[in-house]
Copies of this chain bind each other. A is one copy, B any other.
Amino acid sequence: MEAFSDGVFTIASTLLVIELAVPPGSTHLWHAVVEQWPSYLGYLVSFVTIGALWLAHTGITEYLHHANLWLMRLNLILMLAVAFLPFPTKLLGEYIREGSTERVATTLYGLSLLMTSALLYLFWRYAVHRGLVRADADEADVQILTKRLKPGLVAYVVLIVLGLFVPVAAVIGYLAIALYYLVPLGTARRQFRNRRKQQ
C-alpha cells in the first residue's frame, strides 16, 4: 500500500508540469509567459499541496501497525483524488483570467482540494477509530494530528465561498493551507521519531 501511495504522490506532482502549455507562437514571449501566471500559481499550489498531503500520509502510515481491507479501499479512493488533481489544476490555469469562467474554475479546484483533504482526514479518523494505530504512539500525538487536519477542512470551505467573489485570493489561501499542513505534521512526525529513538 505504501509503495503504491508513494508512487501516486510522486508521479502526480511531477506530472503537473505537463499540463503547463507553452504559449502559442508569439512575438512577445515575455509578455505571453507573464500572462500565464495563473498556470504557474496553480502549479505551485498543487505541487505544495500534494507534497503536504504526502508528508501527512507518510506520517499517518508510520503510526499504523497494520491496515485492514476498508483502510486499503479508503486509501485507493484517496489516491484516486490525488491522481486527479492535475486536471482541476489545468482547468484553473486556463480559465482563471477569463471573467465569466474564473469562478467556476476556482470552485472546482477548491472542491478537489477539499475532497482530497477530507479523504485524508477520514483515512486517519478511521484508522484511529478501528484501533489500527500503534500502541507506542502516545495519545497526545494522535490528538495533534487530528487537530491539525480538521481546521484545514474548515478553511477550504471558507475559501471556496470566498472564491466565488475573489478567485485569486482563494487560490492564495489554498497555498497557505498547504504550507500550514506542511509545518505541524512534519513537526509532529519528527517528535514522534525522536521519542521512538530515545526509547
- The answer to whether A94 touches B6, judged by C-beta atoms less than 8 angstroms apart, is no
- The answer to whether B15 touches A7, judged by C-beta atoms less than 8 angstroms apart, is no
- The answer to whether A29 touches B95, judged by C-beta atoms less than 8 angstroms apart, is yes
Oligomer copy total: 4
Interface of A is mostly: helix
- The answer to whether B80 touches A26, judged by C-beta atoms less than 8 angstroms apart, is no
CB neighbours of A186 from chain B (8 A):
69, 72-73
- The answer to whether A73 touches B18, judged by C-beta atoms less than 8 angstroms apart, is no
CB neighbours of A51 from chain B (8 A):
76, 79-80
Given contacts A22-B94, A72-B186, contact A101 B7 (CB under 8 A): no
The bracket for how many chain A residues form the interface is 35 or more
| Closest residue on chain B to residue A33 by CB atoms | B108
User: Whole-angstrom distance from the CB of A109 to the nearest CB of chain B?
Assistant: 12
Given contacts A17-B86, A76-B48, A83-B16, contact A22 B91 (CB under 8 A): yes
Top 3 closest A-B pairs, CB basis? A7-B10, A29-B104, A11-B14
